């Protein structure tokens, strides 16, 4: 498996990341896999050379961490594990968020569930409007200094929020976010407007969640397959333009046939061709689903194929992006 550098660190992670949100009790259409099924997926991922595994303290009420930790017993030093904090872990008023209280307690709980004494990458699961970023970063600094956490990152942040965390880290000499975990795929390209340019400029890596749009880009719904989008609360979450999506799948099916690969593998190859993307996070409910996507690692699309996919999936530029492009054009074209 090819490796990528995580952000501005010296840590190497696999070109594909294995997500563990399907591990454990079913929660809102997530999860449902038992210990044996989860271990089978982890073992196959390891055999394929994947060394990066992602979970969260709230996936399947914490059971995702437990099953991932159990599956990695005896292999912990060979892998990089990321988990997340912010989401509710109880019913109390302080059982969620990014306060020092919750961060330290949540990490201690995650360490026990993962059966490890350190977390490679601790990611905040989103912005907390009640906790000052400085408090969060100082708590993260203490966790890094204690050896319980090695690197930190963010997820589901606006560009200004990520910029604020980065600025505080630089000013105060605190650990910086080395990775952004964000939604990105051929039917969800909003990340390109602000966050990808910011991450490239600041040398922050990007790991993408739902790189196949909850399975939509595999084409399975077109052919009568079932999946997460059949659940009412996820029927249009994340939101997507299905008219554009169907055109994208038409093209994916053509390229899949030409490359003798799955539609999902082609969709993954498209985003991995973007140097800003560190790795997509794969989700699987069985080993067979994982097998369909593993060939994406070595699938190289031609410049023409990439251009066609970019054109069919293009979305309008928002303001001020279109104005910035308009104003800069004369300078770009100047002799």
Q: How far apart are the C-alpha atoms of 190 and 143, rounded to whole Å?
A: 33
Report the alpha-carbon distance of residue 252 to residue 246 in Å, rounded. 10
Residue pointed to by tokens 């982890």: 42
Respond yes or no: is residue 59 known to be catalytic.
Answer: yes
The candidate with the shortest Cα–Cα distance to 277, out of 303, 296, 250, is 296
User: Which residues carry out catalysis?
Assistant: 59
């Amino acid at each position: 498996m090819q490796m990528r550098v995580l952000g501005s660190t010296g840590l190497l992670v696999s070109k594909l990341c294995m997500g563990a949100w399907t591990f454990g009790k079913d929660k809102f259409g997530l999860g449902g896999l038992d210990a044996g099924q989860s271990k089978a997926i982890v073992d196959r991922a390891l055999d394929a050379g994947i060394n990066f595994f992602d979970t969260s303290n709230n996936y399947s009420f914490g059971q995702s961490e437990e099953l991932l930790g159990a599956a990695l017993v005896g292999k912990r030093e060979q892998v990089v594990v990321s988990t997340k904090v912010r989401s509710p872990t109880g019913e109390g008023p302080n059982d969620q968020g990014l306060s020092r209280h919750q961060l330290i307690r949540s990490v201690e709980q995650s360490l026990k569930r993962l059966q490890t004494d350190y977390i490679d990458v601790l990611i905040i699961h989103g912005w907390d409007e009640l906790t000052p970023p400085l408090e969060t970063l100082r708590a993260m600094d203490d966790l890094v200094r204690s050896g319980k956490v090695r690197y930190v990152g963010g997820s589901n942040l606006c560009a200004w929020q990520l910029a604020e965390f980065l600025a505080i880290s630089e000013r105060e000499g605190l650990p910086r976010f080395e990775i952004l975990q964000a939604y990105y795929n051929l039917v969800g390209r909003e990340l390109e407007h602000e966050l990808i340019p910011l991450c490239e400029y600041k040398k922050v890596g990007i790991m993408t969640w739902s790189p196949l749009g909850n399975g939509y880009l595999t084409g399975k719904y077109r052919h009568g397959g079932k999946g997460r989008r059949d659940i009412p609360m996820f029927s249009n979450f994340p939101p997507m333009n299905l008219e554009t999506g169907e055109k994208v799948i038409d093209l994916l099916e053509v390229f899949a046939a030409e490359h003798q690969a799955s539609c999902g593998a082609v969709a993954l190859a498209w985003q991995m061709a973007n140097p800003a993307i560190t790795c997509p996070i794969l989700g699987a409910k069985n080993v067979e689903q994982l097998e369909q996507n593993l060939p994406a690692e070595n699938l190289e699309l031609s410049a023409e194929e990439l251009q066609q996919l970019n054109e069919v999936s293009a979305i309008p530029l928002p303001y001020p992006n279109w104005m910035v492009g308009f104003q800069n054009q004369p300078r770009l074209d100047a002799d």
